[in-house]
Structure 1
Amino acid sequence: MKISRRKNTKTSDLHTDKTEQQIESELDQNIKVLKELFKDCSDIVFRSFKAGENKAYIIFVDGLIDTKSIQFHVLEALEEIEQELHSAKSVKEKMLSAGTVTETEKLDELVKQVLSGNTGLMIDGLETALVIDAKGGSRRSVAEPETETAIRGSREGFTESLRVNTSLVRHKIRSNRLKIIAKTVGEETQTNIAILYIDGLCAPELLKEVEKRIDRIKIDGILESGYIEELIEDNSWSLFPQIQNTERPDTVAANLLEGRVAVIVDGTPFSLVLPATFWQFLQASEDYYHRFHISIFLRVLRVLFIFLALELPAIYVAVTTYHQEMIPTNLLFSVAASREAIPFPAFVEALIMEISFEALREAGIRLPKLVGQAVSILGALVIGQAAVEAGIVSAPMVIIVSMTGIASFTIPRFNMAISIRLLRFPIMILAGMFGLYGIVLGSLVILTHLCKLRSFGVPYFSPLGPLQFRELKDVFIRAPWWALDKRPTQTIQHDITRQKTHSKPRTPNEI
């Protein structure tokens, strides 16, 4: 074992030394090094051909390039050359229609570019290699997002292609102020990411902090944006999400226009938006597409039901266990009659039902889509009815748990909904131990934590804490668009004016 480990280390060091060297003018020597580096990589293609009087090689990953583009713009174009090639510049002039063509003099950079889906071109006699951007292969087409469905609004959703995703955002914001910074994260995966912001709206301190945290990531691989989210958030021990994830380009565009930063990761349709506040997770993109009367109703409904999703089972446990005098007499008799044959206290009963409901919900997600919904709905009905008839749980508890489940579904963002679902259990424990006093104590702890939490320097509970009256018109309610003439000041210090002129509609008397 020790000998094998020593040999592997030497081989790894050898490969590292070779990739750090400069590209030599002798083509065969360069190809020998590359073939040794890509040994046992059956998807790496080395194709030799004649470029004028020079011998040449193209290197690419099979399945990641557009072979027709390489055939037409590279192979056919260079094979038609008759004279000897002496510089990379003269080669680039012959491939002006091949898209982006860059130069590199280092083998490690060439290897990274090839593994990223680009095509490497090496010509005998030249100490410079060319990198041709001709990415292709099979990719999922743009489709409607599955996790953020909307009645009204754009049906476009991000895909797993970084360049497609940035183009979707560029299509929404057609301004030269939209900047896209490219970075690579992951020692082994070399995952491409893009940092998007609008110059003049995004605070320079925020952008600098985002770049610093991303540059600080030293990990072997990034396979999803959740890796980056967990590595750059302010408080990793908090149950509450501090970075919003979305697969909707219009959501990203709207947040960029409010001075926030977006991080798009290659290989996943979920992009990150930061900083985020608590109230963002209770807002849906279609709130801004409906008329404001509908949006106000839906937002008030969500605020009410997030309270029910967190504390309704705990309130039932506390009232039925410690505070029966708070229940109306007729209702108290009904609840007592239904609980007469139940062998468990209310807390244990609630715990059994909540855990069962969460298990059914998880099973519905993991099962195939066609049967998942049927299993989760029928399973809840059948198990609930059977448990009541068997005398394991009472009928009121089934109603309470069902209402709690419905309430959690009203939260638009999954990561906030699951945080509320997790916090429901400690609140239930406090209610079972101390009654309503325990609920108040748990709620105060959660509220204090929310007020202390920050997301990239922005108070998580703003604009409610600290209080900013002017910005409350886009928190619990959504004011008419003509009243939303200012951008939020949590992320923007300059250029807070959203509407240059007051666009309030005129009344019939003013027309």
Structure 2
Amino acid sequence: METESKGTRSGGEQIKQEKMWPSLKENMKYLNDELGVGENYDIVYRVVQVGGREACIYFIDGFCKDEIMQKLLQLFMAMKPEEMPDNAHEMSKKNIPYVEVDLQTDWEKIIYFIMSGIFALFIDGYEQCLLIDSRTYPARSVSEPEKDKSLRGSKDGFVETLVSNTALIRRRIRSTDLRMEIFSAGEASKTDIVLCYMAARVDHDFLEELKAKIQRIQVDALTMNQESLAECLFDKKWFNPFPKFKFTERPDTASAQILEGDIVILVDNSPSAMITPTSIFDIVEEADDYYFPPITGSYLRLTRLLIAILTYFVTPTFLLLMAHSDWIPINFQFISVKETMNLPLIWQFLILELAIDGLRLAAVNTPSMLSTPLSIMAALVLGEFSVKSGWFNSEVMLYMAFVAIAGYTQPNYELSYALKFMRILNLILTQLFGIYGYIAAIIVFVIAIVSNKTVSGKSYVYPLIPFNPKQLCKRLLRYRLPHSEKQ
């Protein structure tokens, strides 16, 4: 063979073998060193006889299906010498009754497949490794996501297994136009990434750009799965809090976005899909908008949009009006604070903003059996007791309760926090500069949305900018198009 075995040159530089040898002993010695067989208890190898030839199998304990492996070993060990083909190619075609069988000679790919859970068979005299994909991953059952629930929609959701997620999409889009390309990223993790798109509807320029970005990723591992990938794909303007991607755990939502020409990115070990490119109108949409009749879906969508706007304006506007009580109309004088304020309003709002996040974190980390006592304590401490103690005024508690509850109407977690950050900025500027700070904060809010770009570089607020009235109506209202009109 022209390739060199693993060793060192005179200068101390390590040489890495690229292709496997026909000798089983050399292959085993190299692979045992690379995989650390003696140190890793879950990397299993076994020497067997296949048709009178010495052979060795390698696999990861817990990744292979025991029943299939047992039947294959029985078949291999029952083969007679006269039944043995001369090469691995004929062996894979005639003597292995299994669907997913591949041949490989490159050591880097062989090791990658073994570490992915594939069953590898080396036979003395063969210059190719037989890779049998009999793997199975520990996975939970397909169930409705806790976050993306729907009243009428399907009750299945993505799981942490990549093959199951692609199957859920294939079940909904039975078209030969659907493409699913796989990539890997991370020097150590080698995390699988799948791009799902419709070949005839996708923006191919953006698709090629996205592929190039994934292939250029130079990281040790995608530690946080999709968030790590998102930061690698879009590393500009990190200070803009508005989300660049839409995340969903619903296969029906992901399939609908694929049919609209978007690209869905699935990452192994992640139970959600990334949708790109996405605008602000895509992010505020929800599955229930389409599972109800057009008039109901339109009402739900407009209500969600109105509530999102109110969560931003309610507390800063109240703070401004309390500083200029003469601006309040006579019919709305009841909104004024009647009781004594022991703390300035700005500090009450900021403390409650922090306290609400503290309750969210506590709810996430609280065992389910203690969630009810936690809710009762939170209602008492942040409700009646906090007002009676003099820390907060009842009007402040009312408006912050509305803001906290309304934040959960947004299906996108990042969007609710983007509105929160902008609201806090408005509160601070309003307190410092009055009406000028209030207006300046609104200008910053508008600029942050308008100047934001999708991952493809297009407008984040299209069809508002550039203005397209027909598409804007489709974004704001849920109505049924005539069958003759193309989507």
Alignment of structure 1 residues 254-403 onto 2, 5 Å? 254-321=256-323, 323-329=324-330, 332=333, 335-338=336-339, 340=340, 342-372=341-371, 374-376=373-375, 378-403=377-402
Aligned pair count reads 471
Hey, what's the Cα distance between the residues in 2 that align with 1:447 and 1:373?
Answer: 40
- Shift, 1:383, TM fit: 2.2
Aligned to 1:4: none
Match of residue 32, structure 2, among 19, 32, 35: 35
Q: Deviations over 1:235-262 (max 9, x none)?
A: 4332111111111111110000111101
Q: Which amino acid aligns with 2:251?
A: P
| TM-aligned CA distance change 1:300 to 1:193, over 3 Å | same
SS for the counterpart of 2:476 is coil
Hey, what's the Cα distance between the residues in 2 that align with 1:419 and 1:441?
Answer: 17
Alignment of structure 1 residues 376-455 onto 2, 5 Å? 376=375, 378-455=377-454
- Shift, 1:138, TM fit: 2.6
Q: TM-score, normalised by structure 1?
A: 0.88
Q: Which amino acid aligns with 1:200?
A: A
Q: Deviations over 1:328-370 (max 9, x none)?
A: 44754773422x2x22211112112221122112211221234
Q: What do you get for the CA RMSD once the two structures are aligned?
A: 2.1
| TM-aligned CA distance change 1:377 to 1:417, over 3 Å | farther
What runs of 5+ residues in structure 1 fail to find an aligned partner? 1-9, 487-496, 499-511
| TM-aligned CA distance change 1:483 to 1:412, over 3 Å | farther
| TM-aligned CA distance change 1:67 to 1:108, over 3 Å | same
Aligned to 1:79: 77
Aligned to 2:4: none
Alignment of structure 1 residues 148-167 onto 2, 5 Å? 148-167=148-167
Hey, what's the Cα distance between the residues in 1 that align with 2:169 and 2:162?
Answer: 11
- Shift, 1:372, TM fit: 3.3
| TM-aligned CA distance change 1:95 to 1:262, over 3 Å | farther
Q: 2:335 touches 2:395 (CA, 8 Å); kept in 1?
A: no
Hey, what's the Cα distance between the residues in 2 that align with 1:175 and 1:218?
Answer: 34
Q: 1:78 touches 1:94 (CA, 8 Å); kept in 2?
A: no
Q: 1:317 touches 1:435 (CA, 8 Å); kept in 2?
A: no
- Shift, 1:103, TM fit: 0.9
| TM-aligned CA distance change 1:104 to 1:173, over 3 Å | same
- Shift, 1:280, TM fit: 1.3
Hey, what's the Cα distance between the residues in 2 that align with 1:344 and 1:91?
Answer: 81
- Shift, 1:94, TM fit: 3.8
SS for the counterpart of 2:183 is strand
Hey, what's the Cα distance between the residues in 1 that align with 2:198 and 2:101?
Answer: 27
Hey, what's the Cα distance between the residues in 1 that align with 2:337 and 2:21?
Answer: 87
Q: 1:182 touches 1:195 (CA, 8 Å); kept in 2?
A: yes
Give the percent of matched residue pairs that are identical in Structure 1 and Structure 2: 27
Q: TM-score, normalised by structure 2?
A: 0.92
- Shift, 1:443, TM fit: 1.5
Range 128-137 or range 374-383, more displaced: 374-383
Hey, what's the Cα distance between the residues in 1 that align with 2:112 and 2:14?
Answer: 13
Q: 2:118 touches 2:135 (CA, 8 Å); kept in 1?
A: yes
Aligned to 1:198: 198
| TM-aligned CA distance change 1:308 to 1:371, over 3 Å | farther
1:180 aligns with 2:144: no
- Shift, 1:425, TM fit: 1.0
Q: Which amino acid aligns with 2:452?
A: L
What runs of 5+ residues in structure 2 fail to find an aligned partner? 1-7
